[in-house]
Structure 1
């Protein structure tokens, strides 16, 4: 089996086949994933509409924060730190060892450093002219 192709086909079956093979291999090495979503949500008090927050998942003893956004008018007053602390508290309650995430240089790397996160890697020029940082915080 040495034939391969390069494609930009967005067929979900392609991704599914590759993912299933990877998951089967991972299960053979570390057992069932145990992935569990985690969301910390900010809602508009009048409408109840979600206006910001964070979303991620716990798996294999770590919380991965995938998305974190607050509208400009809610930044700088400590709400972001409180949301992050709430996610960390839930991760601890789930038995996690820590949290990891990534942030671009034009996003919030200094915010994460202030919250005790340590940079463990960076990809320069991702995108061109900026850096993608990877952070973690051990409990």
Structure 2
């Protein structure tokens, strides 16, 4: 049965079941956020840590802040927190149409690529050993 949209509680249960099967019961999330003078988030990165591995799940920088080192600062702070939590590696996936070249400049290596996902671009998985 296809459910569109799926119930958020069902999605949470599904995710919890997969994490439990993978032994990720000790998974902990964190975020590094930048806020403006009105406390509105203008940039940030979220991550999940488990098993000495940090998976960056999402990163965003508002367009007016791009090209000013904001992404570099966010990534450095996330990597520092991953180290503090005992991680030896950071993983992430990104789309070329959104962040072409950024992660390579930050010392990440491409470990997998799926061309044409989305159409006309590619989806990449990156790794950085800390």
Task: Answer whether TM exceeds 0.5 for this pair.
Answer: yes
Distance in 1 between residues matched to 2:67 and 2:51, nearest whole Å: 33
**Which residue does 1:26 correspond to in 2?**
22
State whether residues 122 and 131 of structure 1, in contact with CA within 8 Å, keep that contact through their aligned partners in structure 2: yes
Q: Does 1:75 align with 2:66?
A: yes
Distance in 2 between residues matched to 1:16 and 1:83, nearest whole Å: 27
CA-atom RMSD, angstroms? 1.9
Aligned positions, number: 129
Distance in 1 between residues matched to 2:129 and 2:71, nearest whole Å: 19
Distance in 2 between residues matched to 1:23 and 1:80, nearest whole Å: 29
Q: Does 1:42 align with 2:34?
A: yes
Distance in 2 between residues matched to 1:120 and 1:65, nearest whole Å: 15
Structure 1 SS opposite 2:124:
strand
Distance in 2 between residues matched to 1:96 and 1:49, nearest whole Å: 30
Which residue, 90, 115, 127 being the options, matches 2:118? 127
Q: Does 1:53 align with 2:44?
A: yes
TM-fit CA distance, 1:19: 4.2
**Which residue does 2:94 correspond to in 1?**
103
Distance in 2 between residues matched to 1:47 and 1:17, nearest whole Å: 35
Structure 1 spans left out of the alignment, 5+ residues: 1-5
Question: Quick one: structure 1 residues 50 and 57, their matched pair in 2 at CA, closer, same or farther if it must change by over 3 Å?
Answer: same
Structure 2 spans left out of the alignment, 5+ residues: none
TM-score, length of structure 1 as denominator length: 0.82
TM-fit CA distance, 1:22: 3.3
Larger Rg computed on CA atoms: 1
Question: Quick one: structure 1 residues 71 and 16, their matched pair in 2 at CA, closer, same or farther if it must change by over 3 Å?
Answer: closer
TM-fit CA distance, 1:15: 4.0
